Structure 1
Amino acid sequence: MPTILTLYEIPEEYAKQIREIAPDYELKSVPVKEVTPEQIREADILVGWNRKMEQAALESDNLKWIQSWSAGVDYFPMDQLEEKKVLLTNAGGVHAIPISEHIFAVLLAMSRNLHGNIRSQVHGKWDKGGLYGEISGLTMAIVGTGHIGRATARIAKAFGMHTIGVRHSGDPEEHIDDMYKTDGIEQAFSKADVVVNILPLTDETHHFFNKDSFGYMKKGTVFINVGRGPSVDTDALIEALDSGKLSSAALDVFEKEPLPEDHPLWKREDVIITPHAAGNTDHYDVRAAEIFVDNLKAFVKGETLPRNLVDYSRKY
């Protein structure tokens, strides 16, 4: 009997649906930290991923489809999976609500000096210093206008912000006032008060934010990174903060994770650091399971998977 092996806990209501949709498959659940190479090699459909099991997956003659439990898939061996004709789908869309809310949590914190107030609270210090601004009327440039970017733009408009989008195609998008292609960032960044990075990691986006990119921004720009750590040149980011080109930065992802304890970013009062947690939510498993169930319905019929099928040529 073919096997669906899930490395994450599928809510029971969705496990029941899976059994009904694919009655000819055995549904096995093994915690990601306990799965063995043999179990990976035996699976026909793999839900989740364990990098330590990569070799076993590539050795498998059974594996036909991997449903990633994350939106980012840059750590998958895509060339080898494509060669083996293994389908790969991601969990894009799961993070739209938590990450867009996180973006505004840190933006409002920086605008209203909450990060400064919290530091003062820790030291029992009554300090009314610092800058207190407003985000209404500001211009936000959103780099990467997929699920998360669209949700972010919608919230920005509710706050009375002007929105700029940057995407590879340059195609228009709801809630985005002005859209630019990626080769138009000089003009886009020069207009923005806030720049939000939501890029996936590909060969083209590695160090997309570099000395030149930060140089296009106007003095005092706020930078928020919830995309991929290596899409930002950390040295160039620090230089932009030191020069005042950036007034502050909120960083959830980094080139090296965990961020080393002795890294200079930790001690900066103009930076808010979160530990790659922007996408965390107690609704995660349900939303990811919904994506898998929708795809499974098509898979058992031999149809094209309708949700989040990774294009190996684009690496996302």
Structure 2
Amino acid sequence: MNAVTESGKPVLTVLTGDDAPPDMTAVEQDAEVRYTDAAGLADALRGADALFMYQFLSTALPSAWHAADRLQWLHIAAAGVDPVMFPELRASDVVLTNARGVFDDSIAEYVLGQVLAFAKDMPTSLRLQDARTWRHRETERIGGASAVVVGTGPIGRAIARLLRAVGLRVSGAGRRARDDDPDFGTVHTTDRLAECVADADYVVAVAPLTDQTKNMFDGDAFAAMKPSARFVNVGRGELVVTDDLVAALRSGTIAGAALDVFDTEPLPADHPLWTMENVLISPHMSGDVVGWRRELVGVFADNFRRWRAGQELRNVVDKQLGYVPSGS
């Protein structure tokens, strides 16, 4: 695949948010770059050969899609591609790539941090510190505890490896069952989710959002967990039926939840999750470490060079599955 205009340069549209992408100089030398916000996306797409969705949470593309009259390639600066999985894109010949690989280790570290926060009761220590209250308590070991990681892509694998390294017993849940996985050991199929989570101390959701995974964590899934289990969501908020999660936390069906993603973002100020002492909330930042924006641009810039040279692109998404297949 090679895109060249009469000027010898392809037209690249870049959808930005409040901040412009850093380190775009090399790309700007080899393309006619149109920076735009959501309001101007349709105009910027006319005659464009490629689209870089640096503002990866934007939902502006479906309504602007009618103007994509020459688009060959779309790159989204995220691991999850659900914001662009609308029918017209799926049915088109446009190649879709993502930022797979950027967030693996940082999200794994976040998950380990939340596991430790629960086991060592860090939130209570902080509340007691604020109140200047000295209250001795006993905490839990994580060595020997069990975790099920639901989602066996690169991020899930990084989580499994790190949790194993500190002594947890880890298994996975994905599309295909197997007993000899190098990172998970045993992988169950997600259609047997209730069985997978029944004995887990920690259930980690990192599956991509697809028609099959939407609302997979509902009242039945939480009821299948142990009352002492903690739920960690670093995948997508729409994996969870939020009202069912709130009910499970209130009733003691599960012991706690660490949530980085929500079905409505920002989480409304009056949402009951904010005031639950057994809930840890972060604002969709589990993978966002110092330098992450440059890494995102670096992945795009590498693919841009490949695209210009007609070479195979990295991280090509199967638009019917909604993610990059394993081994790609």
Quick check: 1:207–1:232 contact (8 Å CA) kept in 2? yes
**Bigger shift: 148-157 or 1-10?**
1-10
Match of 1:41 among 46, 56, 75: 46
Counterparts of 1:256 and 1:61, CA distance in 2 = 32
Counterparts of 1:216 and 1:191, CA distance in 2 = 9
Counterparts of 1:38 and 1:186, CA distance in 2 = 48
- What is aligned with 1:72? 80
Deviations 1:216-243 (A, max 9, x none): 2122011101111111112221232233
Answering whether residue 161 of structure 2 is matched by residue 157 of structure 1, we say no
Quick check: 2:171–2:186 contact (8 Å CA) kept in 1? yes
Over aligned residue pairs, what C-alpha RMSD do you find?
Answer: 2.3
- 3-state DSSP of counterpart to 1:67: strand
Counterparts of 1:67 and 1:210, CA distance in 2 = 32
Quick check: 1:58–1:80 contact (8 Å CA) kept in 2? no
Deviations 1:115-162 (A, max 9, x none): 111122233333334x51111111110000111111111111110111
Match of 2:134 among 126, 139, 142: 126
Cα deviation for residue 304 of structure 1 reads 4.2
Answering whether residue 155 of structure 2 is matched by residue 148 of structure 1, we say yes
Counterparts of 1:258 and 1:128, CA distance in 2 = 36
Answering whether residue 247 of structure 2 is matched by residue 239 of structure 1, we say yes
Counterparts of 2:202 and 2:239, CA distance in 1 = 17
Which amino acid counterpart does residue 59 of structure 1 have in structure 2? A
Quick check: 2:150–2:205 contact (8 Å CA) kept in 1? yes
Residues 1-316 of structure 1 aligned to structure 2 (within 5 Å): 1=7, 2-7=10-15, 9-12=20-23, 15-16=25-26, 18=27, 23=30, 25-26=31-32, 28=33, 30=35, 32=37, 36-48=41-53, 49=55, 50-52=58-60, 54-129=62-137, 131-171=138-178, 172-305=180-313, 307-316=314-323
Question: Residue 215 and residue 83 in structure 1: after superposition, are their counterparts in 2 closer, same or farther (change >3 A)?
Answer: same
Quick check: 2:85–2:322 contact (8 Å CA) kept in 1? no
Counterparts of 2:71 and 2:107, CA distance in 1 = 32
Counterparts of 1:185 and 1:77, CA distance in 2 = 25
Quick check: 2:38–2:60 contact (8 Å CA) kept in 1? no
Quick check: 1:94–1:288 contact (8 Å CA) kept in 2? yes
Question: Residue 125 and residue 40 in structure 1: after superposition, are their counterparts in 2 closer, same or farther (change >3 A)?
Answer: farther
Number of aligned residues: 308
- 3-state DSSP of counterpart to 2:66: helix
Cα deviation for residue 71 of structure 1 reads 1.5
Counterparts of 1:149 and 1:110, CA distance in 2 = 20
Q: Percent identity?
A: 35
Unaligned runs of 5+ in 2: 1-6, 324-328
Counterparts of 2:86 and 2:248, CA distance in 1 = 34
Counterparts of 1:175 and 1:103, CA distance in 2 = 16
Cα deviation for residue 32 of structure 1 reads 4.1
- 3-state DSSP of counterpart to 1:102: helix
Cα deviation for residue 193 of structure 1 reads 1.0
Counterparts of 1:84 and 1:138, CA distance in 2 = 46
TM-score (norm 1): 0.88
Counterparts of 2:320 and 2:85, CA distance in 1 = 13
Counterparts of 1:36 and 1:288, CA distance in 2 = 21
Quick check: 1:64–1:86 contact (8 Å CA) kept in 2? yes
Counterparts of 1:105 and 1:29, CA distance in 2 = 40
Cα deviation for residue 285 of structure 1 reads 2.5
Quick check: 1:11–1:289 contact (8 Å CA) kept in 2? yes
Which amino acid counterpart does residue 267 of structure 2 have in structure 1? L
Quick check: 1:47–1:69 contact (8 Å CA) kept in 2? yes
Cα deviation for residue 60 of structure 1 reads 1.9
- 3-state DSSP of counterpart to 1:300: helix
**Bigger shift: 33-42 or 74-83?**
33-42
Quick check: 1:167–1:181 contact (8 Å CA) kept in 2? yes
Quick check: 1:170–1:180 contact (8 Å CA) kept in 2? yes
